[in-house]
Structure 1
Amino acid sequence: MRRRMPRPKDIMPLVGFRKPRFSATRRRLESAVTIDDLRDAARRRTPKAAFDYTDGAAEAEISLARARQAFEDIEFHPAILRDVAEVDTGWDVLGRPAALPFGIAPTGFTRLMQTEGEIAGAQAAEAAGIPFSLSTLGTTSIEDVKAASPNGRNWFQLYMWKDRDRSANLIDRAAAAGIDTLLVTVDAPVAGARLRDKRNGFSIPPQLTLKTMLNMARQPAWWFNLLTTEPLAFASLSRWPGTVAELLDTMFDPTVDYEDLAWIKQQWPGKLVAKGVQSLGDAKRLADAGVDGVVLSNHGGRQLDRAPVPFHLLPEVVREVGGDLEVHVDTGIMSGADIVAAVALGARFTLIGRAYLYGLMAGGRRGVDRTIAILGDQITRTMRLLGVTCLEELEPTHVTQLRRGRA
Structure 2
Amino acid sequence: MLPAIKDYRALARRRLPRFAFDYLDGGAEDGRGLARNLAAYEQLLFNPRILRDVSTVDATVSLFGQVQSMPAVVGPTGLNGLYWPQAEETLARAAHAAGLPFAMSTASTSLLEDVRAATAGDLWLQLYVQQDRRIAEDMMRRAQALGFSTLMLTVDTMVHGKRDHDVRNRFKMPLRITPRLVMDVATHPRWCVRMLRQGGSPQLVNLAHSADVPVSMQAQAALMSRQMDMSLDWNAIAWMRSHWRGPVLIKGVLSVADSQLALRYGADGVVLSNHGGRQLESAPSPLEVLPAVVDAVGDKLDILVDGGIRRGDDIAKARALGAKAVLLGRAPLFGLAATGPQGVADVLQILREEFETALRLLGVPAARQLGESALSEDYRQRLARL
Match of residue 211 from structure 2? none
Q: Does the Cα contact within 8 Å between 2:237 and 2:266 map onto a contact in 1?
A: no
Q: CA deviation at 1:251?
A: 4.1
Superposed, 1:320-399 pairs within 5 Å as 320-399=296-375
Structure 2 residue matching 1:204: 3-state secondary structure: coil
Match of residue 138 from structure 1? 108
Equivalences, count: 372
Is 2:256 the partner of 1:272?
no
Match of residue 156 from structure 1? 125
Task: Tell me which amino acid in the other structure corresponds to 2:74.
Answer: I
Is 2:69 the partner of 1:99?
yes
Q: Does the Cα contact within 8 Å between 2:303 and 2:324 map onto a contact in 1?
A: yes
Match of residue 39 from structure 1? 9
Q: Does the Cα contact within 8 Å between 1:189 and 1:252 map onto a contact in 2?
A: yes
Structure 1 alignment gaps of length 5 or more: 1-29
2 CA distance for matches of 1:242 and 1:171? 22
Q: Does the Cα contact within 8 Å between 2:322 and 2:371 map onto a contact in 1?
A: yes
Structure 2 residue matching 1:75: 3-state secondary structure: coil
2 CA distance for matches of 1:313 and 1:255? 26
Give the greater-gyration-radius structure (CA): 1
Structure 2 residue matching 1:258: 3-state secondary structure: coil
Out of 234, 252, 273, which is 1:297 matched to? 273
Out of 232, 236, 242, which is 2:207 matched to? 236
Is 2:199 the partner of 1:223?
no
Match of residue 25 from structure 1? none
Out of 77, 80, 83, which is 1:113 matched to? 83
Q: CA deviation at 1:108?
A: 0.4
Q: Does the Cα contact within 8 Å between 2:86 and 2:109 map onto a contact in 1?
A: no
Q: Does the Cα contact within 8 Å between 2:69 and 2:99 map onto a contact in 1?
A: yes
1 CA distance for matches of 2:21 and 2:324? 30
Q: Which moved more, 1:92-101 or 1:279-288?
A: 92-101
2 CA distance for matches of 1:281 and 1:340? 26
2 CA distance for matches of 1:51 and 1:241? 22
1 CA distance for matches of 2:153 and 2:230? 14
2 CA distance for matches of 1:279 and 1:248? 28
Superposed, 1:172-183 pairs within 5 Å as 172-183=141-152
Quickly say closer, same or farther: Cα 1:311–1:243, change in 2 above 3 A.
Answer: farther
1 CA distance for matches of 2:341 and 2:280? 32
1 CA distance for matches of 2:37 and 2:148? 30
Match of residue 16 from structure 1? none
Q: CA deviation at 1:205?
A: 4.1
Task: Tell me which amino acid in the other structure corresponds to 2:304.
Answer: H
Is 2:169 the partner of 1:193?
no
Q: Which moved more, 1:174-183 or 1:93-102?
A: 93-102
Structure 1 residue matching 2:108: 3-state secondary structure: coil
Structure 2 alignment gaps of length 5 or more: 209-214
Q: CA deviation at 1:236?
A: 2.3
Quickly say closer, same or farther: Cα 1:224–1:335, change in 2 above 3 A.
Answer: same
Q: CA deviation at 1:173?
A: 0.4
Structure 2 residue matching 1:305: 3-state secondary structure: coil
Match of residue 11 from structure 1? none
Q: CA deviation at 1:188?
A: 1.2
2 CA distance for matches of 1:107 and 1:392? 28
Match of residue 60 from structure 1? 30
2 CA distance for matches of 1:393 and 1:259? 36
Match of residue 75 from structure 1? 45
Q: CA deviation at 1:391?
A: 1.1
Q: Does the Cα contact within 8 Å between 2:254 and 2:289 map onto a contact in 1?
A: yes
Match of residue 7 from structure 1? none
Q: CA deviation at 1:243?
A: 12
Q: CA deviation at 1:230?
A: 3.6
Q: Does the Cα contact within 8 Å between 1:184 and 1:275 map onto a contact in 2?
A: yes
Task: Tell me which amino acid in the other structure corresponds to 1:357.
Answer: L
Q: Does the Cα contact within 8 Å between 1:39 and 1:358 map onto a contact in 2?
A: yes
1 CA distance for matches of 2:176 and 2:88? 22
Q: CA deviation at 1:186?
A: 1.2
Q: TM-score scaled to structure 1, two decimals?
A: 0.88
Structure 2 residue matching 1:311: 3-state secondary structure: helix
Task: Tell me which amino acid in the other structure corresponds to 1:349.
Answer: A
Q: Does the Cα contact within 8 Å between 1:190 and 1:253 map onto a contact in 2?
A: no
Structure 2 residue matching 1:57: 3-state secondary structure: coil
Q: CA deviation at 1:241?
A: 5.7
Task: Tell me which amino acid in the other structure corresponds to 1:68.
Answer: L
Superposed, 1:276-291 pairs within 5 Å as 276-291=252-267
Out of 287, 291, 306, which is 1:315 matched to? 291
Match of residue 206 from structure 1? 175
1 CA distance for matches of 2:168 and 2:217? 17
2 CA distance for matches of 1:155 and 1:243? 23
Q: CA deviation at 1:114?
A: 1.8
Quickly say closer, same or farther: Cα 1:133–1:254, change in 2 above 3 A.
Answer: same
Structure 2 residue matching 1:257: 3-state secondary structure: coil
Q: Does the Cα contact within 8 Å between 1:204 and 1:242 map onto a contact in 2?
A: no
Q: TM-score scaled to structure 2, two decimals?
A: 0.92
2 CA distance for matches of 1:247 and 1:357? 25
1:68-102 deviation digits (Å, cap 9, x = unpaired): 10100011001100111111111111111111111
Runs (4 or more) in structure 1 with deviation over 6 Å come to: none
1:362-394 deviation digits (Å, cap 9, x = unpaired): 111111001101101110001100001101221
Quickly say closer, same or farther: Cα 1:294–1:326, change in 2 above 3 A.
Answer: same
Q: CA deviation at 1:349?
A: 0.7
